[in-house]
Amino acid sequence: MRTILLGRPLQDSELGHEKYSVLWGIPVFASDAISSVSYAGEEILLVLIPALGMLSFRVFLPVVAAIITLLALLVFCYRQTIEAYPSGGGAYIVAGENLGHLPGLVAGSALVLGYILTVAVSACAGAAAITSAFPGALPYKALIAFGIICLLTWGNLRGMRESSVMFGVPTYLFIITMIALIVTGLVKYSMGLYTPEQTVIVTENARDTLLFVVLKAFASGCTALTGVEAVSNGVPNFRDPAQKNAKKVLYAMAGFVCLVFLGVSILINLYKIVPNEQATAVSQLAGAVFGQGSAMYFVVQLMTVVILALAANTAFADMPLLMALMARDGYLPRQLVSRGTRLNYSNGILLLFASASILVFAFRGSQHLLLPLYASGVFISFLLSQLGMLVHWKRVRGAGWQLKAGINGFGTLVTGVTLVIIVLMKFLSGAWVTLVCIVLLVYMMLRIKKHYDSVADELRVTDLAAAKEQVSRAKPAKVILPVQSMSRSFVKTLDCALSCGFSEIELYHVCDDEEKALALKRRIEELGVDARFVYEVTTYRNVNEVLLRHVQTEAAKLPEYQNLTVMMGALVVTHPLQRLLHNQTTQRLARKMERYPNVAVFNVPYLIG
Amino acid sequence: MRTILLGRPLQDSELGHEKYSVLWGIPVFASDAISSVSYAGEEILLVLIPALGMLSFRVFLPVVAAIITLLALLVFCYRQTIEAYPSGGGAYIVAGENLGHLPGLVAGSALVLGYILTVAVSACAGAAAITSAFPGALPYKALIAFGIICLLTWGNLRGMRESSVMFGVPTYLFIITMIALIVTGLVKYSMGLYTPEQTVIVTENARDTLLFVVLKAFASGCTALTGVEAVSNGVPNFRDPAQKNAKKVLYAMAGFVCLVFLGVSILINLYKIVPNEQATAVSQLAGAVFGQGSAMYFVVQLMTVVILALAANTAFADMPLLMALMARDGYLPRQLVSRGTRLNYSNGILLLFASASILVFAFRGSQHLLLPLYASGVFISFLLSQLGMLVHWKRVRGAGWQLKAGINGFGTLVTGVTLVIIVLMKFLSGAWVTLVCIVLLVYMMLRIKKHYDSVADELRVTDLAAAKEQVSRAKPAKVILPVQSMSRSFVKTLDCALSCGFSEIELYHVCDDEEKALALKRRIEELGVDARFVYEVTTYRNVNEVLLRHVQTEAAKLPEYQNLTVMMGALVVTHPLQRLLHNQTTQRLARKMERYPNVAVFNVPYLIG
């Protein structure tokens, strides 16, 4: 079943490590950043238009320009991370190494949230591209987004090879499609073939100042910058010279984001596109340029869905890796460390699937509602990464460190200010959720670490001599064998007890009727084994409690270093439906007895069928 | 927690056996039957009015009369069951003893379905009484019904004493309220103080013949008869002379049902009440007689809810008892046999809760949709009970058996014909569901019985000599002790293994690196114990699978009668949240190993914290 669904198990050596060239590295690392273009412009307009009406189109392009400037700055900053961390410098590592544990955990939490939101936002934006093309599907938007997540989860559980071609072709196709859109749009406009409809817009009672509106629009537009840090995480995955190639990819990525974002924004401005609940801005633009329902229109929508799915897939590749890293450091459950039979981090993938799905349904499939959470989480990790780099240069020094520190210092300042803007502007519409989640995550991680540390302490053999004495002191002890009736399972258990060298076998019986106990005693005596029959009569319906109390009492009588063994015959029914017909009492009792300090439980299974 | 919610555990001797007098026995056994009055008349009208319009009120009373005649006949029939089964003669027992296993199971399944539907229908009808009084609550009808079921479940899990006073007072209050309603209504009408509104009724295109409509109405009205068998189940609960008192209660119950049903029906007829989705017939009647919104109107509604809740409570008392009986016979899961700490059949109560709740939500809280299922199930058990009694008299004979057989024979004929009418008239609107469910239940019960029988066969010690030989042949065997690292848990496990007299201790280690295995070997050798260290290197991520395969291979080497013991150290983390941080690998491995024919698993717990 698992093999059909997920494919055959793989050997460790089959873990591929494809090294990327610049040409094919661009799509692998850039799909996340480039895909942001499909919703960033729209988010800006959704802030501007209700406040300013058609005036919005005067403010729109300056906001876009500010964001592109910020992008350029980030490129310079991350260029330095690539230089300093040839083995990959995600925010978790950079902040952890330079700022200490706690900032590292904050960055890690922000990244984890960011990945979850990448998936949720991309799936919802992909669903929006679909519902824009097929308005009848609008009521099922959340379901469509969930479907996209399911597909990606399945693919990643199978362990899709992150082949560069699989990523590359659609990404370049998306870029080509967008360039075609931009060029056709500009030509059409300049030839006067398109006049914007006169849309009547009812603006809200504009009590906010222009500055406030512009800042809010800027905060919304910052979602265009999500994903720019990807290259700096993945330096070791590039062909030699890795750092040089990584930098080229970083520049190219920034170039493409800039080109597409700027081009699409200019077109939106020229065509006076007003986004609404039914159709995304890009969809309306494609409709206006190529004609609603034309083949090219559907190509634009299709490529948008594909690039968004690729962006979400990046998170599926990276988050389980990050979580494995954090779990190895002891901050997350250990189950996230181990790779599954298909060599992927299946637990992390399933966790991402579950949390992104919950978000999609909780926010009813709306990327507009999810994006404020996204932007604030991403900029927290940007800020900590920049601050970490600043401290890094001050720590390691080296030639011209002042300049480098200066660049990252400026980066810290700018990302810090942007973060403040985003949090202030988007606090009530979602940023508070991110902040609360990060605090909770960090608290949880610290607790997990504490737990693992104390377990490791408890398990460590510190005193070999004591351990040696313990095992040398071992001597045959007593076994308690609870018995309910003379059955084959009991005979097998008794047989098993006899074949260990216990010093004494106690057959223990609880019942509500003395007569029956004596009858059972006589039957067992016929077997002629050397065992003591002990019984207890109870008038409460608590046979199991009496047994547990007896075990506890007997265990307490033994010296602390000696174990009391309880041996129980357990019916084992393999058919899952038939298992419902049995009480599983033995299993439940065993679980309880395991909690007594010096009791060991010996299950002798009796297989049915 | 459990104690706060459900109360302290009770001793067996605290199981009370209140014996009922006639006066207080009536409400205990009659609430179910009497409560039917609150919906039966309405169901008849809901069939008649769309077909016949205002003509319905000419046909209504004759249909009611037919049902009351049927009631009288059933009283005579069940009077005989009381005589023949002083220890209680439910349909499961009567049909099982006289007709054989299979008819007994059919009757038992019909009864189980009947109890579930009693709860679902009564809860929905109770919710209807509430939404009639407070129309704003109409959208939440299913939720209100669910709330009623939850309250009853909680009460029954606590183990409410079925005190006669608790039942008696509300039942008598209900009867008094209804008599007040009837008398006031008749007086008001005869004094000409009420003229029915001229309701314009659009009848459907009447393609059905009058006979068909009348039969359908009759089938709907038969829901008035649900619950009349209750007395015959509970004969031993009456004060001596038990049978005589039981008969008196039977008559009195029939009298009250007849009185209230006839009275309310006559009023409905005089007042020309047309039931609708918003308000039940009884609610409209109470409104017309006492004035909508008057105190007495609310009393009627409140008492209706209370009597319906009591009726549902009857099912909560009786179904777990019936299921315990059937489980004791091996037809239902064994978990239903044992009483919980509060001496009630908690598993049966929870099962009833779950199934009734599912029905309520599946049928969106509509008693109209549920009643066709209910009537057909109840009449199947009536028929089998009558047929069983007929065979009973033929079997035991005795003085005047021909007359007794004749009465039950006539009862068989009449309930049989009624059942046919109900099934034919209500087939598509629900009777088919009942039939399918009964077939499935009977099939399931037969399979369960077969399973338990085969398990009992497998466990029975048939050959004492062989068992004796088996235990005498027992001799120390080998133990496998999987080891991952040198930890305190491992030392404890080793200690435990040494204190049994195994012939050989094998330390088994799986790893992906030979170096590490040899290092571990050296560390363990420092302990200086007599144990063989075996290791295996795997390049797949399947440490557990290699271990399982090794255990299987080693077990296969042993003679069939000898057990291979696997001893594993298991971390035991008691805090439920902390348990999430551990893999539970040992537990999972143990569960798998238990399925190998001759492997016994010895868990040595290492308690953390």
Condensed to tens digits (0 to 9), the pLDDT of residues B206-264 reads 567 888 889 999 999 998 888 888 888 888 888 888 889 999 999 999 999 999 999 99
Strand, coil or helix: A18: coil
Q: Which residues of B touch A472 (CB under 8 A)?
A: 528-529
Strand, coil or helix: A504: strand
- In chain A, % of residues over pLDDT 90: 47
Minimum mean pLDDT among A201-215, A504-518, B287-301, B334-348: which range?
A: A201-215
Instruction: Round the CA-based radius of gyration of chain A to a whole number and report it.
Output: 32
Q: Which residues of B touch A507 (CB under 8 A)?
A: none
Find out whether A447 and B580 touch, Cβ atoms under 8 Å. no
H/E stretch holding A438 reads helix A432-459
pLDDT of residue B207: 64
| Pair of tokens at residue B144 | 């209100």
* Residue from A12, A464, A484, A500 whose CB has the most chain B CBs within 10 Å, to mutate: A500
B467 and A527 within 8 Å at the Cβ level: the answer is yes
pLDDT of residue A563: 82
- Residue B416 reports pLDDT greater than 80: yes
pLDDT digits (tens, 9 = 90+) for A8-23: 766 666 665 667 888 8
Report the Cα B522 to chain-centroid distance in Å: 62
pLDDT digits (tens, 9 = 90+) for B467-487: 888 878 777 778 999 998 888
Find out whether B526 and B440 touch, Cβ atoms under 8 Å. no
A480 in B contact zone (CB under 8 Å): no
d(CA A303, CA A421): 32
d(CA B175, CA B195): 26
Find out whether B204 and B50 touch, Cβ atoms under 8 Å. yes
- Residue B201 reports pLDDT greater than 70: no
A578 and B527 within 8 Å at the Cβ level: the answer is no
Question: Which residues, in sequence order, are bridge partners of residue B437?
Answer: none
| Band of residue A439 on the pLDDT scale cut at 50, 70, 90 | very high
Q: Which residues of B touch A512 (CB under 8 A)?
A: 12
A603 and B599 within 8 Å at the Cβ level: the answer is no
A13 and B539 within 8 Å at the Cβ level: the answer is yes
A8 in B contact zone (CB under 8 Å): no
Name the residue among B594, B605, B606 with its Cβ closest to that of A572. Answer: B594
- In chain B, % of residues over pLDDT 90: 46
Q: Which whole number is the average pLDDT over A312-335?
A: 89
State which residue of chain B sits closest to A602, comparing Cα positions. B602
Find out whether A486 and B463 touch, Cβ atoms under 8 Å. no
Question: Which residues, in sequence order, are bridge partners of residue B509?
Answer: B535
Find out whether B491 and B528 touch, Cβ atoms under 8 Å. no
A333 and B590 within 8 Å at the Cβ level: the answer is no
A590 in B contact zone (CB under 8 Å): yes
The minimum CA-CA distance between B602 and chain A, rounded to whole Å, is 4
Find out whether B478 and B502 touch, Cβ atoms under 8 Å. yes
* Residue from A13, A483, A522, A541 whose CB has the most chain B CBs within 10 Å, to mutate: A541
The minimum CA-CA distance between A292 and chain B, rounded to whole Å, is 42
B539 and A474 within 8 Å at the Cβ level: the answer is no
Q: What number of other Cβ atoms are within 10 A of residue B576's Cβ?
A: 7
A558 in B contact zone (CB under 8 Å): no
**B16, HSE (Cβ side, Cα atoms, 13 Å):** 10
Q: Which residues of A touch B598 (CB under 8 A)?
A: none
A11 and B609 within 8 Å at the Cβ level: the answer is no
H/E stretch holding B142 reads helix B141-158
Q: Which whole number is the average pLDDT over B553-564?
A: 85
First to last CA, chain B: 23
What DSSP state is assigned to residue A559?
A: -
Q: Which residues contact B472 (CB under 8 A, 6 or more apart)?
A: A528, A529
Q: Which residues contact B91 (CB under 8 A, 6 or more apart)?
A: B107, B108, B110, B111, B229, B381, B382, B384, B385, B388
- Residue A587 reports pLDDT greater than 70: yes
Q: Which whole number is the average pLDDT over B348-354?
A: 94
| Pair of tokens at residue A136 | 């009848």
Q: Which residues contact B123 (CB under 8 A, 6 or more apart)?
A: B145, B146, B148, B149, B308, B309, B312, B356, B360
Q: Of B156, B163, B117, B96, whose CA–CA distance to B339 is shortest?
A: B156
Find out whether A159 and A2 touch, Cβ atoms under 8 Å. no
Furthest CA-CA distance within chain A: 108
d(CA B392, CA B97): 8
Strand, coil or helix: B45: helix
Strand, coil or helix: B94: helix
Furthest CA-CA distance within chain B: 108
A11 and B574 within 8 Å at the Cβ level: the answer is no
pLDDT digits (tens, 9 = 90+) for B106-139: 999 999 999 999 999 999 999 999 999 999 888 8
A595 and B606 within 8 Å at the Cβ level: the answer is no
Q: Which residues of A touch B488 (CB under 8 A)?
A: 458-461, 467
Instruction: Find residues 532-551 of chain A whose CB sits inside 8 Å of chain B.
Output: 539-542
Q: What burial class does residue A16 get, using C-beta atoms within 10 Å of its C-beta: 0-12 exposed, 13-18 middle, 19+ buried?
A: exposed
Find out whether B340 and B318 touch, Cβ atoms under 8 Å. no
Instruction: Find residues 512-531 of chain B whose CB sits inside 8 Å of chain A.
Output: 512, 526-529
What DSSP state is assigned to residue A579?
A: H
Q: Which whole number is the average pLDDT over B303-322?
A: 90
Minimum mean pLDDT among A493-497, A546-550, B63-67: which range?
A: A493-497
Q: Could you tell me the pTM of the whole model?
A: 0.72
Instruction: Find residues 302-361 of chain A whose CB sits inside 8 Å of chain B.
Output: 333-335, 338-341, 343
Give the length of chain B.
609
Q: Which residues of A touch B574 (CB under 8 A)?
A: 595
pLDDT digits (tens, 9 = 90+) for B14-28: 665 667 888 888 888
Count of CB contacts below 8 A, A vs B?
223
B486 in A contact zone (CB under 8 Å): yes
Name the residue among B487, B580, B603 with its Cβ closest to that of A600. Answer: B603
Q: What number of other Cβ atoms are within 10 A of residue B65's Cβ?
A: 12
d(CA A222, CA A220): 5
Q: What are the angstrom distances between the C-alpha of A46 and each of A272, A274, A568, B279?
A: 13, 8, 68, 48
State which residue of chain B sits closest to A474, comparing Cα positions. B499
Dihedral in degrees, nearest 10, Cα atoms B203, B209, B215, B218: 30
Q: Of A111, A370, A29, A438, whose CA–CA distance to A220 is shortest?
A: A370
Q: Of B87, B85, B107, whose CA–CA distance to B96 is shortest?
A: B107
Q: What is the mean pLDDT of chain B?
A: 87
pLDDT of residue B608: 81
A468 in B contact zone (CB under 8 Å): yes
pLDDT of residue B187: 92
Q: What are the angstrom distances between the C-alpha of B608 and each of A466, B157, B602?
A: 19, 35, 19
**B135, HSE (Cβ side, Cα atoms, 13 Å):** 9
B243 in A contact zone (CB under 8 Å): no
State which residue of chain B sits closest to A343, comparing Cα positions. B541
pLDDT of residue A462: 84
Q: What number of other Cβ atoms are within 10 A of residue A162's Cβ?
A: 17
Q: Of B332, B360, B357, B359, whose CA–CA distance to B345 is shortest?
A: B332
Amino acid identity of A385? S
ipTM given for this complex? 0.74
Find out whether A347 and A384 touch, Cβ atoms under 8 Å. no
B6 vs A603 pLDDT, higher one = A603
Find out whether A568 and A602 touch, Cβ atoms under 8 Å. yes
Q: Which whole number is the average pLDDT over A396-413?
A: 90
pLDDT of residue B343: 67
d(CA B481, CA B604): 11
| Pair of tokens at residue B287 | 């409104």
* Residue from B6, B591, B603, B608 whose CB has the most chain A CBs within 10 Å, to mutate: B603
* Residue from B481, B577, B581 whose CB has the most chain A CBs within 10 Å, to mutate: B581
B572 and A595 within 8 Å at the Cβ level: the answer is yes
Q: What number of other Cβ atoms are within 10 A of residue B276's Cβ?
A: 14
What DSSP state is assigned to residue B364?
A: T
Q: Where are the alpha helices (DSSP H) in B294-431?
A: 295-328, 346-362, 367-396, 401-426
Q: Which whole number is the average pLDDT over A34-63?
A: 89
* Residue from A350, A589, A602, A608 whose CB has the most chain B CBs within 10 Å, to mutate: A602
A595 and B605 within 8 Å at the Cβ level: the answer is yes
Q: Which residues contact A358 (CB under 8 A, 6 or more apart)?
A: none
B476 and A526 within 8 Å at the Cβ level: the answer is no
Q: Which residues contact A479 (CB under 8 A, 6 or more apart)?
A: A497, A500, A502, A504, A505, A506, A564, A565, A566, A567, A602
Q: What is the mean pLDDT of chain A?
A: 87
pLDDT digits (tens, 9 = 90+) for B575-595: 888 888 887 788 888 888 888
Question: Which residues, in sequence order, are bridge partners of residue B224?
Answer: none
Sign of the torsion angle spanned by Cα atoms A119, A125, A127, A129: negative
Q: Which residues contact A577 (CB under 8 A, 6 or more apart)?
A: none
Minimum mean pLDDT among A233-237, A314-318, A540-544: which range?
A: A540-544
d(CA A381, CA A384): 5
Amino acid identity of A93? I
A502 and B501 within 8 Å at the Cβ level: the answer is yes
Cβ density class A245-268: b for 16+ within 10 Å, e for less: bbbbbbebbbebbbbbbbbbbbbb
B474 and A498 within 8 Å at the Cβ level: the answer is yes
d(CA B589, CA B482): 11
What DSSP state is assigned to residue B600?
A: E
Strand, coil or helix: A509: strand
What are the φ and ψ backbone dihedral angles of B604, each rounded to 5 degrees? Answer: -105, 105
Q: Of B306, B290, B18, whose CA–CA distance to B170 is shortest?
A: B306
d(CA B443, CA A32): 56
